[in-house]
Amino acid sequence: MKKKKHANSLTPWQRLVSLLHHERTSINYIFVYAILIGIIGLTLPLGTTAVYNLLSNGAIYSSTYILIAVVLIGVVVAGALLIGQLTLVEFLEQKIFTTASMDFAFRLPRIKPQELHGERPAELVNRFFDILTIQKGLTKLLVDIVAACVQIFFSAILLSFYHPVFMAVGLFALLAISLVLFLYYRRGVETSMDESSHKYELVAHFEEVAEDLDNYRGNPEMMEKVVRKADEITSRYLISRNEHFSILKKFFISAVAMRTILMGGLLLLGAFFVVEREMTFGQFVAAEVIVVQISYAVEKLMTNLNTVFDMVTSSEKLAVVTDLEIEEGK
């Protein structure tokens, strides 16, 4: 079924934001947790530098144990905050599912007859399963992707304290990510939508057959027709899926390229600054830890964009039902 367009129709991303907007209070808490985890996560490179500087004297002092304890406490606190984050996300998933189920229950019997002209109402209900995709994607969107963004931001700031030139490393990561998203995001959404449309087309075909099985049993011609049509739809699905994956590969390749440039830049600049006595070896080690964190955060961000595309597509598919006009006062 092709979704009817209305004058005030939203973009797929706007639909997802609108769906989550009602839960903004819980989401804000998740963001706060992510910021705190990002700040506490900086204790690892800072603690590494401090411990190395103390050990460079060839002896272990009581302050060394204190620093190690502080780093370990930071790890435990960050873990506790992560558990709190995941608990909030679980609450959010349950609430979104409940809201969607009640919305469908209210709307389905009130949809105007003219809105369903030429359509099969039973097939529309399949769109509800997209709420499960949004549910499962919330953890990656609100925990993994947000954490990656926060980590890149704070790590870039911390790097500038070791040497001003390193600020360019953080700026490069932010600009490169923005450029890649600008180039491929829209096409990624389009291919994801095409893929989803063929998926529902195939399910609709199977439902149509299931509703009249007696007409197909013992009829070789009709059974062959079912297989042939399923094969045609599956072929279109695979073409769309491959097109979508080709976009995802561009994100993956971009992540590898960015990680390579970041690590190469750090090693070359860091080695030069250490030789020129512009930074200590301990600072170089800490900067390396930070850049490794940034590179892995970039990789996590890029590889999880598939989840974002799935969620955006699902919010658009839910609108196939929620955009249909309903009878007022009933």
Average pLDDT over residues 78-88: 93
pLDDT above 90 for 4: no
pLDDT at 59: 64
Average pLDDT over residues 196-202: 93
* Nearest partner of 180 among 308, 15, 301, judged by Cα: 301
* Mean pLDDT confidence for 111-122: 82
Q: What one-character DSSP code corresponds to residue 141? A: I
Tell me, what's the pLDDT at 172?
84
Question: CB neighbours (10 Å) of residue 186?
Answer: 14
Kindly tell me if the per-residue pLDDT of 8 is higher than 70. no
Distance CA 38, CA 53 (A): 24
The structural domains of the chain, with segments of one domain joined by +, span 12-322
Statement: residue 1 has pLDDT above 60 = no
Radius of gyration of the chain from Cα atoms? Answer: 26
Q: Quick one: pLDDT at residue 313? A: 93
When pLDDT is cut at 50, 70 and 90, the band that residue 329 belongs to is low
Tokens of 279: 């930074």
In this prediction, residue 277 carries a pLDDT of 84
CA distance 239 to 233: 10
Its pTM stands at 0.84
Average pLDDT on 90-112 reads 91
Cα–Cα distance for residue pair 29/323, rounded to 1 Å: 30
- The pLDDT of residue 130: 92
Lowest-confidence pick of 87-91, 202-206, 319-323: 319-323
Q: What is the mean pLDDT of residues 310-314?
A: 93
Q: What is the pLDDT of residue 202?
A: 93
CATH class for the domain made up of 12-322? mainly alpha
